[in-house]
């Protein structure tokens, strides 16, 4: 069974051969004209067997020297196939073989239809010469601008030579115009082939330029990603709570962002935002917000609602076309309280004493529109040892699995509650990720995705 599969995928299988031989997925391959010529010769070897269908014509089948001519055509193609495995003199091999085959085909036609005594038989003789036009047009696969023209030139010369000797002492006076139809066809096909080559080469050049631009942009995005990574907090130990974080972005950089704000007297602020959209623009706005949060007046960092209002006003003033959702939590370890405000962000999920996670419903507006004041309500909770907070961006619940289903906040709560028994925070995060992977399967996240788990000490 394995042996038959190997044969099916080998050179004996024409589809496998074509897929292997003409694998030009890289733009650079379209510029390697030596490789293209090699592929051209190998393709020509397989296609030349179509010539033998000429024996279906009774006159050609009865030609006294047809067997010899067809044998020479086969020998020439075998020789050119062997020579295709080296990289020198390929143009000479191609044109030498092509000229010889065109000559032999015309010789077969001339011998098979040697006698004619009226215009009807002359036209029949002439029509078969149109078949040579396929060899003229076939040259366009070499992507050489002069390939079709050169083939058409020596096809016309050979054809005119044959009809000259045919009519030199023939029964018909002069040279009827119908005899020149194949030459006109050769010329037209050479113009069509050359035009196609010019268009393809231009497209290859444009694709090459776009490929270079793409590689440059990818390099720049990788640098931007490294720069953006420095904006995220390092894996640090924060007195008062433990945390685990997960981030994913469909692009090199994204608009989801979180930060820890170290405050006086051991207090800590946690800021998480989701910039509308994703990609470069969102990443730049996220970086701008990072700077704003870091440089804003200290008093605002102690009041979640004021902090969000400050961001709302600045975004409205600086980025009228961009907006964001955000949540800011202020951990006051002196009074043992948690204060937070939610500006249009998904509800924070909370679990206390190992109980089920539940959403803390709050009211608040998206940042950057200046919709209302106060922009959000302030929520306060007492700090309890072991309680957990789960913050996330909407990409987590709005991405779709392979069946098109969204996880939704209800599905997320179910996952959290099924794994709430894990006392180790890292194990809890890993268990949640396993279930998320099972739900989304092979589907790629279409939006930036981030979640942050905080456990109070």
For position 7, what pLDDT does the model report?
41
Q: Which of 110-114, 167-171, 248-252, 389-393 has the lowest mean pLDDT?
A: 167-171
Instruction: Return mean pLDDT, the chain.
Output: 85
DSSP of 395-452: HHHHSB-TTS-B-HHHHHHHHHHHTTT--SHHHHHHHHHHHHHHHHTTPPPSS-EEEE
For position 6, what pLDDT does the model report?
43
Are the C-beta atoms of 155 and 129 separated by less than 8 Å? no
In our burial notation (b when 16+ CB lie closer than 10 A, e otherwise), range 204-236 reads beeeeeeeeeeeeeeeebeebeeebeeeeeeee
For position 177, what pLDDT does the model report?
77
pLDDT tens-digit map of 238-253? 888 999 999 887 776 7
For position 8, what pLDDT does the model report?
45
User: pTM of the predicted model, to two decimals?
Assistant: 0.61
Residue 164 CA to residue 183 CA, distance in Å, equals 13
Tokens 């539940």 map to which residue?
A: 358
Task: Specify the higher pLDDT residue, 213 or 193.
Answer: 193
pLDDT tens-digit map of 36-88? 888 888 888 988 888 888 888 888 888 888 899 999 999 999 999 999 988 88
pLDDT tens-digit map of 144-172? 889 999 999 999 999 988 878 777 766 56
Q: Which of 120-124, 213-217, 230-234 has the lowest mean pLDDT?
A: 120-124
Does CATH place domain 232-456 in 3.60.40.10?
Answer: yes
Residue range(s) of every CATH 3.60.40.10 domain in the chain: 232-456
Q: Which of 37-46, 227-236, 243-252, 372-381 has the lowest mean pLDDT?
A: 227-236
Mean pLDDT computed over 429-445: 88
């Amino acid at each position: 069974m394995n042996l038959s599969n190997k044969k099916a995928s080998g050179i004996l299988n024409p589809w496998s051969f074509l897929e292997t031989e003409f694998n030009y997925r890289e733009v650079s391959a379209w510029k390697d004209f030596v490789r293209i010529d090699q592929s051209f010769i190998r393709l020509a070897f397989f296609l030349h067997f179509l010539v033998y269908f000429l024996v279906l014509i009774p006159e050609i089948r009865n030609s006294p020297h047809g067997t010899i001519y067809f044998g020479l055509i086969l020998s020439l193609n075998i020789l050119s196939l062997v020579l295709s495995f080296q990289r020198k003199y390929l143009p000479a091999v191609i044109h030498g073989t092509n000229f010889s085959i065109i000559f032999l085909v015309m010789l077969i036609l001339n011998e098979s239809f040697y006698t004619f005594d009226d215009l009807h038989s002359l036209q029949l003789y002439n029509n078969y010469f149109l078949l040579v036009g396929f060899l003229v047009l076939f040259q366009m696969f070499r992507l050489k601008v002069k390939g079709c023209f050169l083939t058409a030139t020596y096809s016309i010369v050979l054809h005119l030579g044959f009809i000259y000797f045919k009519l030199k002492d023939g029964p018909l006076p002069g040279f009827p115009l119908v005899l020149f139809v194949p030459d006109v066809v050769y010329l037209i096909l050479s113009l069509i082939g050359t035009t196609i080559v010019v268009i393809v080469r231009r497209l290859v050049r444009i694709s090459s330029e776009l490929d270079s631009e793409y590689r440059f942009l990818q390099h720049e995005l990788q640098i931007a990603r490294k720069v953006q990574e420095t904006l995220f907090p390092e894996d640090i130990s924060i007195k008062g709570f433990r945390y685990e974080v997960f981030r994913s972005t469909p692009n090199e950089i994204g608009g989801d962002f979180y930060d820890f704000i170290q405050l006086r007297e051991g207090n800590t602020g946690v800021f998480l935002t989701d910039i509308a959209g994703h990609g470069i623009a969102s990443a730049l706005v996220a970086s701008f917000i990072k700077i704003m949060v870091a440089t804003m007046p200290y008093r605002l960092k102690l009041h979640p609602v004021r902090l969000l209002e400050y961001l709302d006003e600045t975004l409205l003033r600086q980025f009228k076309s961009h907006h964001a959702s955000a949540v800011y939590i202020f951990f006051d370890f002196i009074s043992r309280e948690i204060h937070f405000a939610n500006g249009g962000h998904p509800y924070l999920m909370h679990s206390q004493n190992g109980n089920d996670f539940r959403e803390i419903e709050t009211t608040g507006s998206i940042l950057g529109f200046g919709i209302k004041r106060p922009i959000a309500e302030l929520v306060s909770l007492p700090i309890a040892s072991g309680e957990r907070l789960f913050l996330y961006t909407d990409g987590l619940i709005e991405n779709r699995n392979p069946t098109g289903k969204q996880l939704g906040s209800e599905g997320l709560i179910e996952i959290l509650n099924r794994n709430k028994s894990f006392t180790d925070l890292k194990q809890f995060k890993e268990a949640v990720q396993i279930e998320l992977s099972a739900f989304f399967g092979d589907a790629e996240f279409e939006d930036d995705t981030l979640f942050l788990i905080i456990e109070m000490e």
